[in-house]
Chains A and B, each alone.
Chain A
Amino acid sequence: MKSVKIENVSKQFGQVYGVKNLNLDIKAGEFFTFLGPSGCGKTTTLRMIAGFYYPTNGHILFDEQDVTRLPPNKRNIGMVFQNYALFPHMTVDENIAFGLQVRKFSKAEIQHKVDRIRGQVHLATYGKRKINELSGGQQQRVALARALVIEPDILLLDEPLSNLDAKLREETRVEIKRIQSELGITTIYVTHDQMEAMAMSDRIMVMENGDIKQIGTPQEIYHRPINRFVANFIGETNLIEGTIEAIDGEDIQVITTNGLIFIGRKQQSSPTFTHMIGDKVFISIRPESIHLGAGDNTLTGKITFVEFTGISVNYIVDFTAFSLKVMIIHSYDQIKSIGEDITINVAYDSLYFLGE
């Protein structure tokens, strides 16, 4: 278990920057996630931590040790690849034992360690199987066992769930989280799936175009996104453009382009946002925070889309200058249809203000 420190790291591919001036502290034992759309630099960063790329500039430290130019085989890392990268010419046990053989453990020790880890990933009876005789989920667990058995200082996971079907993905997600917290190992997880990131991580780093947009706990990222990109990327949200009309103590009053007025709490805004009357502002409203009927910030609009998902009824409601995604939970008796008018309200504390 080691901490990871990234200092001013950049990686250039020819003229293009993969990541630029990255600074990051990952605590020992933390489950840390790099989240972002494809091409944002998250895999590049992971591969630099693993040692498959060397940074163009900057330093990478494991605890106090500078590993910037240390080859991957000297870093004592465990890595799980997106396609698992299992050795097809070896059995399950041979795959798991590979890293132990490299470390020159005795035969008996290897067998002992392999048996134990195989039990932990629920593959106790699969030792002699060939890789191509396993299902996708089983292969995934072999890859995890192979990475963990060497007792790495840091576990690196590169989109490990993306090749599994939806149901298996959820099971495996729970499984990885369970093993990680049992072992208490520092884990860096790369994904583009915000649900996965939210569910598993202690902290999340949201990236875009090679830059860090925000680092924080899942709650911070979800409830206090720093800008429109993060708000949009994490969960679903409605962004309404408007202008600050008045600031009155704790209250902030915004008028939209078609003259609708929203009133919210001043503190409920991005830390980088400065409040000045006449400023342009974006209001973020999560679909699930909208309720039926009158209340704070009451609006009436026309339904243009209805969808029943089981848990909720989802609407899209048109307000001429903008439309809102609305998610109503537990109200099966009053599903409305397209074309009907609907009255909704958004609580004073549910408005969140963002700058440009």
Chain B
Amino acid sequence: MFAHEFVRNAYLAGTFIALACGSVGWFVVLRGQLFAGDALSHVAFVGAIAAAVFAVNEQVGLFAVTLAVGAGMAALGRRAQADDVVIGIVFAWILGIGLLLITVLATSSGGGNGITAVNALFGSIYALSAGASSVAAVIAAAVTAAVVVVFRPLLLSTLDSELAGARGVPVRALGAGFLVLVAAVTAESTEAVGALLLLGLLSAPAGAAHRMTANPYRGLALSAGLAVVAMWGGLALSYGIPSLPASSAIIGLAAAIYAIAAVVGRRGRAPRRA
């Protein structure tokens, strides 16, 4: 199957996106910010639609809108963690704007718009071009590297923000920076697995890793590893079974991993608390 170029592109982009999702996701779950990630993923969808309406490059639109909202959420929240009511209301509103843009798109140009929306929502990793997949891989690798660089201070400020503050860690700035990282990952993986499904790549491998080990280093590595396994397996499954969409296969595998970890973890040691 690697004889096909589109498969190689998908694997290149997919691997790095899974690495980024797994490592960022581990922190997202630890910090209890999945809802923010979820909201950002919907924002990414609106960004894609907006890019189509204003005829800018889709990737540019995605990144601009998602990063802006991520930064805005960080600024509004108290400990750079937005309140769940505010997230809920803001993202409903942004989706409403997305709906408006879809309507504008449908009435202005005509033709092929439903496809744009569906692709943005559910991704089309097998449709990535060679250039797009290299760009995706580079950005995802940069995000992963950023997580590794801020790993220790971010971990300390997540687990004990007062101690971190006392030791001179810029807790607020880190929290805000982290939300921006989440936004970058979200915008990045929207193209691959789609705005509605990327939450699974953020939550399932990370949730499984949290249930399997309390050690942060092993947990982060495990989370990234499991995400890559789900990505590779899902891509292969979807290649083998044409009627199975790639995103569904990837998410299905990730969820299966989480379910196994949940069952095994419950029998073994108690789930971590920190």
> Do A and B belong to a common assembly?
no
Q: Give residues in A with beta carbon < 8 Å to B.
A: none
